Amino acid sequence: MNLSVKIGTLTLQNPVTVASGTFGYGVEYSQLVDLNQLGAVVVKGIRLEPVRGNPTPRTVEVTSGLINAIGLQGPGVDGFIHKYWPFLKGLKVPTIINVWGTTVEEYAEVARRFDALGGVGALELNVSCPNIKEGGAQFGTDVKLLSQVVTACRKATKLPLITKMSPNVVSIAPYAQAAEAAGSDALSIMNSFPAMAIDIETRRPMLANVTGGLTGPCIKPIAVKLVWEAAKAVNIPIIGMGGIQSAADAIEFILAGATAVAIGTANFYEPQTALQVIAGLRQYLQENRFEDIRELIGRAHTGN
């Protein structure tokens, strides 16, 4: 039975990865999860400089979901390389670095730095974080800017580039096509959906940032639809994500057209989710007499 898939030139031993921002830098989970069983480790978004992040409260629980406005707190490129890379480079599975910036030039510079580092599996371009004022979603909701970011990063590195898409667009097809045309090797679909919650006791917004990004099982049907639409629009592989908490959820994404998937918010409440999904995929293939996970990719488009 084959579970391995390719994202550009990168081979994953199985299609199950983790979503940026829900798995720290891998090491935090290493006592609870055998990281070498994963398809890849995807780290939290990194820009050139350290980032302090947003004031608190940063997270609010809603029905079957979570709204967060962390603000991409992180150590910056140098801090990451010093503090986390020695651990990550020792893993047997690839590390995908989530990259962001406040300008096109910064995205390219971060990409260059990780290209020069050596040993990185791929770069995921975060053009879709809803929680920061400069950078993030402004690049992912403007086709021209999106093209510029991907083009600049394409020039900066030969590493596989994965563009992480915003769900907050009328139609995802032109954005997916723009990323593909600019040289993206794959797409991550999707980032969190802009949302908010209000405390009826204080009569104020729950989050210090007022709005945040909605994640968790409640967004899954939206994400499946976006994967479905993007799969029709492009020929590059898609990493599907949004509320996956079981193998059944992952299979839905694959049938919609995803080549791989990422476990996100579920890591927070059940760290074993990714490993459970891998086991469940195996079982599904066996029970349904498929030899290769790739037979399932996009199968909902053609029937059976």
Partner 1 sequence: MVEQTVQIVSNERDTDLYFRLVVRAPQIAPLVQPGQFAHVRILPLKHALLRRPFSIFQVSGDTLSILYKTIGQGTEVLSQMQPGEGLNMIGPLGHGFTVPQPGGEVPLLVAGGYGMAALYLLAQRSRQKGIAFVGGRRRVDILCEEEFSALGWEVRVTTEDGSHGAKGLVTQALLMELKRRTAGRKLFACGPTPMLKAVGQLATDFDLPAELSLDEHMGCGIGVCLTCVVPIKTRDGWEYQRTCTDGPVFDSTQVAWEVNK
Name the residues annotated as catalytic. 129
Q: Is 212 in the site for partner 1 (CB under 8 A)?
A: no
Q: Is 47 in the site for partner 1 (CB under 8 A)?
A: no
Give me the least distance between CB of 71 and partner 1, in Å please. Answer: 9
Backbone angles phi, psi at 179, to 5 degrees: -65, -45
Q: Is 202 in the site for partner 1 (CB under 8 A)?
A: no
Give me the least distance between CB of 189 and partner 1, in Å please. Answer: 22
Q: Is 55 in the site for partner 1 (CB under 8 A)?
A: yes
Nearer to partner 1, 4 or 64 (CB): 64
Q: Is 29 in the site for partner 1 (CB under 8 A)?
A: yes
Per residue, the 3-state secondary structure of the chain, as one string, reads: CECCEEECCEEECCCEEECCCCCCCCHHHCCCCCHHHCCEEECCCECCCCECCCCCCCEEEECCEEEECCCCCECHHHHHHHHCHHHHCCCCCCEEEEECCCCHHHHHHHHHHHHHHCCCCEEEEECCCCCCCCCCHHHHCCHHHHHHHHHHHHHHCCCCEEEECCCCCCCCHHHHHHHHHCCCCEEEECCCEEECCEECCCCEECCCCCCEEEECHHHHHHHHHHHHHHHHHCCCCEEEECCCCCHHHHHHHHHHCCCEEEECCHHHHCCCHHHHHHHHHHHHHHHCCCCEHHHHCCHHHCCC
Q: Choose, by CB under 8 A, the member of 13, 37, 103, 272 that binds partner 1.
A: 272
- Of 54-62, 133-141, 155-163, 275-283, the segment contacting partner 1 by CB under 8 A is 54-62
Q: Is 216 in the site for partner 1 (CB under 8 A)?
A: yes
Q: Choose, by CB under 8 A, the member of 16, 23, 153, 293 that binds partner 1.
A: 23
Nearer to partner 1, 270 or 292 (CB): 270
- Of 22-30, 83-91, 111-119, 166-174, the segment contacting partner 1 by CB under 8 A is 22-30
Cβ–Cβ < 8 Å for 148, 104: yes
Q: Choose, by CB under 8 A, the member of 14, 46, 48, 58 that binds partner 1.
A: 58
Nearer to partner 1, 32 or 116 (CB): 32
Q: Is 57 in the site for partner 1 (CB under 8 A)?
A: yes
Q: Choose, by CB under 8 A, the member of 15, 65, 240, 298 that binds partner 1.
A: 65
Give me the least distance between CB of 66 and partner 1, in Å please. Answer: 6
Residues in the site for partner 1, rule: CB under 8 A?
A: 21-24, 28-29, 31-32, 44, 52-53, 55-59, 61, 63-66, 68, 70, 73, 216-217, 265, 267-272
